[in-house]
A and B are shown apart, each in its own frame.
Chain A
Amino acid sequence: GAVVSQHPSRVICKSGTSVKIECRSLDFQATTMFWYRQFPKQSLMLMATSNEGSKATYEQGVEKDKFLINHASLTLSTLTVTSAHPEDSSFYICSARGGMSESPLHFGNGTRLTVT
């Protein structure tokens, strides 16, 4: 149980274009999903908290106009990287919490974004 599916696993795009990453909870409903970014050999950095039916909450320093998050249903959240630049190249990982606030997070397999 508690499977989170993330697509695509890898994407290469040109500078200035937008990329959408999908995160789905397959066997549970997730009222809250989280988007992380991970740089090589570093730990996870929380970007934003996605709440179903309401606006996402962004961490300090994360541009909400650049990283658009939509959580339209209890099983799907999307992250769109708009007007991508090479410095946006990174590993993006989504996670979901299926129960109470103290429940552990379950993660997707991540998306490696390369902006050329």
Chain B
Amino acid sequence: QKEVEQDPGPLSVPEGAIVSLNCTYSNSAFQYFMWYRQYSRKGPELLMYTYSSGNKEDGRFTAQVDKSSKYISLFIRDSQPSDSATYLCAMSGVDSNYQLIWGAGTKLIIKP
């Protein structure tokens, strides 16, 4: 079993829909949670960074962390075709010496 599980998709939704992307993990010591967006042939871009449990909102993006369930989510409201990309979750903690442990990435397609 991988430390971080993420459905690779692809996930295809119509423009304007609310998108929900998720990761589950097994190591309860993870404390820092990140979402990155990666366009084809580009480096990952940090979208959200959260510590411990709770919600964080930034524009159309909301990140949720539920440490009791070992489950994190990224919601995208009013999705746009430009949101089409691969979304990677990553997490770290003292246990991993803060080395990022990555999900496989979910390919998201927003249809106009």
Chain A residues with CB under 8 Å of chain B are 2, 4, 6, 41-44, 46, 49, 91, 93, 95, 101-102, 104-110, 112
Q: How many residues of B contact A (CB 8 A)?
A: 24
State the B residues within 8 Å of A (CB).
8, 31-32, 34, 36, 41-46, 49, 51, 88, 90, 92, 97-100, 102-105
Residues of A within 8 A of B102 (CB): 43-44
Given A43, A91, A102, A106, which contacts B104 in the complex, CB threshold below 8 Å?
Answer: A43
Instruction: Decide if B92 touches A110 in the complex (CB within 8 Å).
Output: no
Closest B residue to A97 by beta carbon equals B98
**Distance in Å from the Cβ of A11 to the closest Cβ of chain B?**
14
Within 8 Å CB of A49, what residues of B? 99
Bound CA span A110–B39, Å: 11
Contacts of A4 in B (CB 8 A): 43
CB-CB under 8 A for A104 and B34, given A109-B42, A110-B43: yes
Q: Residues of B contacting A42 with CB < 8 Å?
A: 104
- Establish whether residues B88 and A110, one from each chain, have CB atoms under 8 Å apart when the complex forms: no
Q: Are A104 and B43 in contact (CB under 8 A)?
A: no
Closest residue on chain A to residue B32 by CB atoms: A102
Most buried by A among B31, B34, B43, B97: B43
